Chain A
Amino acid sequence: MESHESPHDRTPDAAREALDTLNADRSTLADHIVTPPWFYPALAAITTAFVASPAAPTPFVQSMVVVAGSVSLIFLVLAYQKRTGLAISRTAGPRSLGVLIVVGVAIVVLLGLSQALTLMGMRPWVAAVAVFTFVMVLAGCRVYDRFYDTELRSGR
């Protein structure tokens, strides 16, 4: 039965017990947050499409790639929420945030590189950038997952 505790519950022992319960719940939550095996490959594929889009033969095709990628991203997030019953958009601590920033900056740089290669007439090299992007995002997401799990369990 839910009830308010009395002021007598404001003891160090009661506080430690409450903190232990919260820690156990965070571990339960971390156990529940298991990323589906298809999620990161799908995310890496969508990101790769964005990065390689400057090499599309026409601006119209490039726009279509960006639109299709954006729609896919929305469906991917919705599928994740449906699968786990959780919506998550914030990191669990400084290390997972750091990984997210590094991956985000790398994606912007790779997009710029892809654009530059296309403008310099070196379009075939965009394929190499695309392969690197896919591998980098996949690896980055796995590192992110590991840090997120650790930070969630430890309460940052």
Chain B
Amino acid sequence: MAADPRFDDAIHAPNRLRICGLLRPVDSADFAVLRSALGLSEANLSKTIRSLVDLGYVRTAKSASASRGDARRTTTVSLTSLGRRAFDGHLAALRDLAEGRLSPSVEHGDG
């Protein structure tokens, strides 16, 4: 079922939107996969993910990793159901905007 267009300023910032876009088709992704796909620094990605966690759009989990040579743990990132709804709505709003079905001046579900 198509989502209702809902422009969401909270995830309109490019890196936030791209993280949500990468997480949408998967259950979870390792931090390293996101970093590689987005080409961001570790600090920048951490900060952006933390802001999405604070919004309730993303959750993180840490687990031991046998693939790592050090004692650090692997961080996996996933979208919450709230994040999925927000992303789907924002994506629909972007499509409407791009195709001229949504006026740029009209506010849609900001927050």
Contact = CB atoms under 8 A, between A and B. Distances in A.
Contacts, number: 95
Contacts of A7: 104-105
A67 interface: no
B44 to A, nearest CB: 7
A19 B22 contact: no
Given A2-B47, A15-B98, A85 B33 contact: yes
B85 interface: no
Contacts of A85: 29-30, 32-33
B60 interface: no
A73 B87 CA distance: 32
Interface in B45-73: 47-48, 51, 65-67
B15 interface: yes
A25 B87 CA distance: 15
Contact of A5 (B12, B36, B47): B12
A contact patch SS: helix
A152 interface: yes
B90 to A, nearest CB: 9
A42 B67 CA distance: 21
Nearest to A31: B37
Contacts of B15: 2
Given A15-B94, A90-B25, A28 B100 contact: no
Contacts of B36: 32
Q: Which of A2, A4, A152 has the most CB of B within 10 A?
A: A2
Contacts of A120: none
Contact of A10 (B7, B25, B95): B7
Interface in A67-125: 82, 84-90, 92
Interface of B: 7, 9, 12-18, 21-22, 25-30, 32-33, 36-38, 44, 47-48, 51, 65-67, 76, 78, 91, 94-95, 97-100, 104-105
In the complex, the 10 A-B pairs of residues with the closest C-beta atoms, listed nearest first: A85-B30, A15-B97, A85-B33, A87-B27, A15-B98, A10-B104, A22-B21, A15-B94, A87-B28, A16-B98
Interface of A: 1-5, 7, 9-12, 15-16, 18-19, 21-22, 25-26, 28-29, 32, 82, 84-90, 92, 152
